[in-house]
Structure 1
Amino acid sequence: MQLKKWLITAAIVTVMLSLTGCGKNQKLSTSTPLPTSAQPTEVHPVEASDTAGDIGSQQAVESKINVWLTKNYPGDWKVVGTTLSKGNYIENGHYKIVDGIETLFPGTMGVSIFVGEVRISSSVKKGTERVLKGFPTPEEIGEVLKSGKATSSLSSDYLKVYIPFQTGGKTLAVLTVSVPHQ
């Protein structure tokens, strides 16, 4: 069964990588954001963005992350309250997924995971503390939770990619990563 999953993932990755250059000049549409709770005015260090997404790069980032997650964390995504797990691994308080994904993209501005509007994991640190609270939830999180589709945006030479984590067609969480854009 694992071999079958691996082969399917490899086939998807191959197709996605072959299409990487096809969407270079397309802009991603943004829908009306879901309402968010009262937000502080300070912007999270990795949240500034515009809406000129690069689909080719988005697909490459998404593919690389999904292959890495499948290899290192087998099993389905699960959420109980705001606790996110994949297989037997729980991300809340451990940060292995965000830290591991950050190593995939040298020069990244950070990786965060949201369950609903709650940032439950982040590779971004202020001093020695993880940056989890005190910053607004990006409106794209609500869009991805609602649509179940990845999206991206460009800002200051960084591509910010929003990737849904799904089980059974239901989006349980959203990962964000800001990678240097060529």
Structure 2
Amino acid sequence: MTVALPLLVAGGVLFMAGTALLLTRSLTRILLGAVLIGNGVNILFLSTTGRTGDTPLLYPGTDPGQVTDPLPQAMALTAIVITLAVTAFLLAMVYRSWQLTGSDEVPDDIEDRRVALRAEETAERARLQDEYKKLRRQYANAARDGGAAGKARGRVVRARAEYEQSRSRLRRRLRADRLQQPDTTDASSDLWDHVLGEDR
């Protein structure tokens, strides 16, 4: 079986462009990326049917070795139907997102941001606690030796103040992020009024 190189290149380019569009935040670009990937799949299916110019059907008197393979054509038709369904679904999502928020941008997941902030806070707190404990040990050793206890005490006080400031700063960030969470709707309200809005 021979494969047409231009069809392979065109399918690969459509795949790359569609993947790049799928990785964006705009739902419209995600829709275009899904359409491009669907078309790339169709072209790659058609590139496996055989040489160009072969007979599409097995007519009487036709050499069976000169007929294109019908299976990729049937799979391309199936892929067209699937692409149409995905396109309709994404169009509905884009329209509804535009209606509710006035934008088609996909927002950050607030819970993911909270988890990341909490991990950052835990790591920063552990680092500051280790530094504070190390300075406390240095201060205890300096006080026992009777040497530079004043300097060591100053470093301990500064480390403690930095630890407290960093902890309060991270707590403020967590509180501000928690305030950005969407309000939960009252369970007694009509769910369809909330979901459908003016379309009902």
TM-score, structure 1 normalization? 0.25
Of structures 1 and 2, the one scoring higher in RCO (CA 8 A, sep 6+) is 1
TM-score, structure 2 normalization? 0.23
More helix as a share of residues: 2
More strand as a share of residues: 1
Higher-Rg structure is 2
